[in-house]
Amino acid sequence: MAEQSNELKKLATIASDLGLSAPLRTKSIELIGSIGTHDALLILLDLAANKGLIKEERDLALTHAREIIQSGR
């Protein structure tokens, strides 16, 4: 469980790092969504609220958050 938490933290850092390329941030958001835990949901909602990210990345984070909620995980 701690390993998954560390992975989520690293992915969240990558997803919000504006110095990295958009495709890398997008891939990170997708990976966070695939984890599908409550912690992943919280990170995705935080990313969706991050006004520094481009609109498409924020929408993607929100879409993955919605999928986690709908799946009931």
SS3 label, residue 14:
helix
Q: What phi and psi values does residue 48 have, to the nearest 5 degrees?
A: -65, -30
Domain holding 55, by residue range, is 2-71
| Each residue's pLDDT expressed in tens, for the chain with a length of 73 residues | 677 789 999 999 999 999 999 999 999 999 999 999 999 999 999 999 999 999 999 999 999 999 999 998 5
Q: How many structural domains is the chain composed of?
A: 1
